[in-house]
Structure 1
């Protein structure tokens, strides 16, 4: 039993090093885009030894970039899944809380890594853009399913999901550029109004003139 303990500790240590590198790469991706993710910067932030790069990522920087993007996508998907059961407004508020923290903690230097990958340029674009599209589709589907569960039609659910996703992602960009969370909060307020209005129409129909 004791002979296995050093092996287990070594495996756990290697796994922790790999995770730190992925997390660090995702953080750089948020701040600088794909072109700014360098091996040197990831090593500095993660504290990993240089020899660990090709041990954990045999395909080098491209593999690290892909896994960092997928990690970031999974993190936001987890927030969507955690709030989905509470309805669309809870999803919007959860998104705002998530980005409030990231923007404040980074002093407004961090944006959405999936957006950065989706609109990026350079050698990474052909690889990362399709992955970013898949992540956005996952988020859109999860949001749509949450609205469907609230009783919205499939078409309304899909439209609300796209509207929320596009508006909130744009709000993050505006908040980052203005160094203020006000755009994020303003957009969230309007989205909540939209969701409530759509729910009212769903339950009561469109108001008639003079009605």
Structure 2
């Protein structure tokens, strides 16, 4: 395994640890344990410690989510979000509701600004990029830019909130409601846009 592959394995493990345990429970020692790597290798690849690997984990997660979303949206907004919600159902069920979104874990942590300031900046950028990605897809379907951006923000907020509720309740009810709401919003907006064209 190359040095780059070894580092990438640690970054992926950090993202998984964050999504399962949150920012405060994520440490250099816990990352080494979670990744099955020597403690020294974490310090070797991340001399800046926790703040550095958490920031890299955010960038990694952002890239993964953007790719996942692009694959889904290639089907169009309605079928794309059906697939996106199906993928989240799989994540929640296969992890026993232990895995959520690493971006949310950092966003909600009161100490993030102090403990991982670069990670928090990157989280904001990832959410902005996801909103743009969704909005561009909606604009291609005929929605005006302001409406597309507003709807994209709403979709992200509904989805993230539903994932948190599912983890707390240990069931998929909130995700089912979220999917129904998102699809209804999308259908209404797309129909309205088509009738105005």
TM-score normalised according to structure 1 size: 0.86
Residue 33 (structure 1) aligns with:
22
Whole-angstrom CA distance in 2 between matches of 1:38 and 1:111? 18
Count of aligned pairs: 194
2:162 is the counterpart of 1:171? yes
TM-score normalised according to structure 2 size: 0.91
Match of 1:83 among 50, 69, 72: 72
Change (3 A) 1:179 1:190: same
Whole-angstrom CA distance in 2 between matches of 1:86 and 1:148? 15
Q: Which has the larger radius of gyration?
A: 1
CA RMSD of the aligned region, Å? 1.6
Residue 49 (structure 1) aligns with:
38
Whole-angstrom CA distance in 1 between matches of 2:100 and 2:11? 17
After the TM superposition, which of the residue ranges 82-91 and 189-198 deviates more from structure 2?
Answer: 82-91
Give ranges in structure 1 of 5+ residues lacking alignment.
1-11, 206-211
2:131 is the counterpart of 1:140? yes
1:47-196, aligned counterparts within 5 Å? Answer: 47-122=36-111, 123-196=114-187
Task: Give structure 1 regions of 4+ aligned residues with deviation exceeding 4 angstroms.
Answer: none
Shift of 1:193: 1.5
Q: Give yes or no for contact 2:19–2:99 (8 Å, CA) kept in 1.
A: yes
Deviations 1:36-56 (A, max 9, x none): 111111111211112212221
Partner SS for 1:192 = helix
2:9 is the counterpart of 1:14? no
Give ranges in structure 2 of 5+ residues lacking alignment.
none
